[in-house]
Amino acid sequence: MTRSPLQEEKQRLRLEMRERRRVGGDPDSFAKLADVFMQHIQLEANVVVASYCAFRAEMNPVVLNEALRARGHQIALPVVTGPRMPLIFRLYEQGDRLLANPMSILEPACDAPEIAPDVLLIPLLAFDDRCNRLGYGGGYYDRTIAALRAKKRVLAIGIAYACQQVAEVPVGPNDIRLDKIVTEFNVF
């Protein structure tokens, strides 16, 4: 199957950004990002925040998760239910059992309660200042945002290292712009 010019451009950028993220990430960034988020993002009381388990060299939200828990928010983690399906979310308490899915991403065990998030923290490979996001190409978060927003208002926030910013992310008709993006230095 031949790729479209848009698909080719996205794939080229994915390769470049994986390397940029790999060499540009700093472990101190996790705490810095949590500080920036907590200072600039005001969430309603007791909302459910869907976070994620960092995969490869993604910005790790573990410090942010604990800061959000300390403010009374519940944390959920995504679960892949099948190809081309929206993600579901299961409640995650610190210390709960996590299992690797077929892509080696950690997820809550199936006995963790399913819960509908109000806020999504979303990993990414690249972003621009218009809050466009480039992911891995599976479309999981685009389908998930669309499915959740068909039911209620959901705030979608990208989580990234500052080095992942590009001038322009190539977007297609199924790509959903995020509401905000938070890095260790800024909020977009």
Q: What is the pLDDT of residue 24?
A: 63
The CATH number of the domain holding residue 156 is 3.40.50.10420
In a domain, 37, yes or no: yes
Does residue 85 lie in a domain region? Answer: yes
- Quick one: pLDDT band at residue 178, thresholds 50, 70, 90? very high
Q: What is the pLDDT of residue 19?
A: 86
Question: Which residues pair with residue 159 across a beta bridge?
Answer: 182
Residue 31 maps to a domain:
yes
Name the pairing type of β-strands 88-91 and 119-122. unpaired
Provide the domain count of the chain: 1
Q: Which range marks the domain in which residue 97 is found?
A: 5-182
Decide if 68 contacts 75 (C-beta within 8 A). Answer: yes
- pLDDT at residue number 20: 86
Residue 188 included in any domain: no
Region of residue 33 (phi > 0: left; psi between -120 and 50: alpha; otherwise: beta): alpha
**Contact predicate 170/13, CB 8 Å:** yes
In a domain, 49, yes or no: yes
pTM of the model: 0.94
Amino acid identity, position 88: I
Q: Give the span between the Cα atoms of 154 and 173, in whole angstroms.
A: 20
Task: Give pLDDT tens digits for 141-175.
Answer: 999 999 999 999 999 999 999 999 999 999 999 99
Residue 116 lies in a domain: yes
What is the spatial distance between Cα 79 and Cα 66, in angstroms, rounded to a whole number?
20
Give the pLDDT band of residue 44 (cuts 50, 70, 90): very high
Q: How far apart are alpha carbons 119 and 137 in whole angstroms?
A: 22
Query: Rounded mean pLDDT of the chain?
Result: 94
Within a domain: 187: no
Kindly tell me if the per-residue pLDDT of 110 is higher than 90.
yes
**pLDDT one-digit tens code per residue, 65-100:** 999 999 999 999 999 999 899 999 999 998 899 999
The pLDDT > 70 percentage for the chain reads: 98
